[in-house]
Chains A and B, each alone.
Chain A
């Protein structure tokens, strides 16, 4: 059953429309990501959900209740900000307890809930520390604990991991997802990082210039991009015109305007009824477990990726034959 509904949301700043008729819906306990490049409107949409910005048109419903004009403080949502926005004058415990105090809970209940959150977010021993005494990862966890301790109906995350280094970010992605699942909390994440979106989400909405370009599960989004923007934004898809693909495959007919092919869909092993591309290897890059290179054929460049194997030596300047299954050539709208 739908838990959060966003219907026909429109918003403009200084006469420029940043959100056009946005419709979203997600179920209780779902982890939804709003993914898109800078300036696509994802943060504005999140802030509208939070009640920090009023939409010009449209309706927001949470748990069946119209909250479009409900103040942020009464909306029963939690939010983690990009800058964490921890209160510098308060300790970790006081930061976490703030929302509970605003709800006027008794002292014993506050202490119990704070202790549970401290344990859940791995902050034991840091209760009496001030935010300035914590690392970026610890601050992020305090912000998370503070936002979920009040038991919000929806948790909103505004690029909460973007300021952290890669290793900590990956660990926190796992923790975030584990905590979200444990609490079965409906969560909306805003990010521009497609890998992060793929790693944590049940469903992804891709935004571009204020429109929803595509929505679906991470698998659907990755394997079936519906247009050029999504294909280019998700992963390193090759986007070919029909005639370029005909040139590459020496005459095979491709009637549509644009096609997308994932770089890892190319293989060195022959495929029955597959397409064959012969070209010169260029720009070989070792990316850890993956080798990426370009193949030039008939003036068209193809980016291909293979799992790194010690017995397969890919040399720049050599001729190479690649094969691709026809079903991996996706026609774009």
Chain B
């Protein structure tokens, strides 16, 4: 039997969708418009702003810096955190509560406070603030890497798998490499993509810590807001497309994970 849905259900859903889509649609149209100040619809459409944007080496460099920072911090987290979380879950589960409390702290600290603290601690230390930013990013994505990796390890009953592999003659490293890692790869990939997309959109820390000396896409966008709304819109559209691609990859990976379970 078909369930009758009242009209106001559709109305609510429609209103929410409009609320979410209109700003994006407006930004998209504005990035293609020649002028859109005095009329309801744009006066004309053009690719000019995109040509200007992609012709600007500063934009391409900013994009490259954002990719390097986000990718670097994510890879660093993968290399250090995955083996660490594995060791905690399998060999020192008592430490889990302590680690979880530490990770909650990263949520509790506002970005501005972290940035001010880092500047005071490292400004005259001789360590490049870019490196400090990567370190701060590493801490910032801890919760996502920790939860994703820990859940994957629990789902596959990592402790039993390790014990089974060791009893069959495998050393701890071999067991981790041949048995554990292939089975948690999907979870790690999802956590990494999520972390990467969060870092790619990060503004507060990078602006305060390195600002103009290491301009990332978000800092570049902030500067362009005062120069041209059309270019700023084009940047937002590019950024949004990249995040959409990442989201599609995450969804695809998650689906394939569910199918294999």
Contacts and interface: CB of A to CB of B under 8 A. Distances in A.
A87 to B, nearest CB: 5
Contacts of A72: 163, 166-167
A96 B179 CA distance: 13
B260 interface: yes
B171 interface: yes
Contacts of B167: 50-52, 72-73, 75, 77-79, 147
Given A73-B169, A103-B169, A132 B260 contact: yes
Contacts of A73: 166-171
Contacts of B178: 98
A249 B183 CA distance: 66
Contact of A89 (B169, B170, B179, B261): B179
B51 interface: no
Nearest to B182: A89
A89 B182 CA distance: 7
Given A72-B163, A132-B261, A88 B156 contact: yes
Contacts of A50: 163, 167
Interface string A88-117: 110000000011001100000000000000
Contacts of B170: 73, 98, 102
Contacts of A147: 167-168
Contacts of B171: 73
Contacts of B160: 81, 83, 85
Main DSSP-derived SS at the B contact region: helix
B163 A81 contact: yes
A74 B178 CA distance: 19
B164 interface: yes
A5 interface: no
A147 B166 CA distance: 12
A43 interface: no
B174 interface: yes
Contact of A81 (B164, B166, B169, B174): B164
Contacts of B156: 88
Nearest to B179: A87
A89 B166 CA distance: 17
Residue among B161, B165, B169, B261 with max Cβ neighbours from chain A (10 Å): B169
A72 B168 CA distance: 8
A99 B169 contact: yes
B157 interface: yes
Residue among B161, B166, B183, B261 with max Cβ neighbours from chain A (10 Å): B166
B117 to A, nearest CB: 39
Contacts of A98: 165, 168, 170, 178
B174 A85 contact: no
A83 B174 contact: no
A89 B185 CA distance: 11
A262 interface: no
B161 A150 contact: no
Contacts of B169: 73-74, 99, 102-103, 150
7 contacts: A75-B167, A81-B163, A85-B160, A85-B161, A87-B165, A102-B170, A103-B169
Interface of A: 50-52, 71-75, 77-79, 81, 83, 85-89, 98-99, 102-103, 132, 146-147, 150
Interface of B: 156-157, 160-161, 163-171, 174, 178-179, 182-183, 260-261
Given A52-B167, A77-B167, A79-B163, 11 more contacts: A73-B167, A75-B167, A81-B163, A85-B160, A85-B161, A88-B183, A88-B260, A89-B179, A102-B170, A132-B260, A132-B261
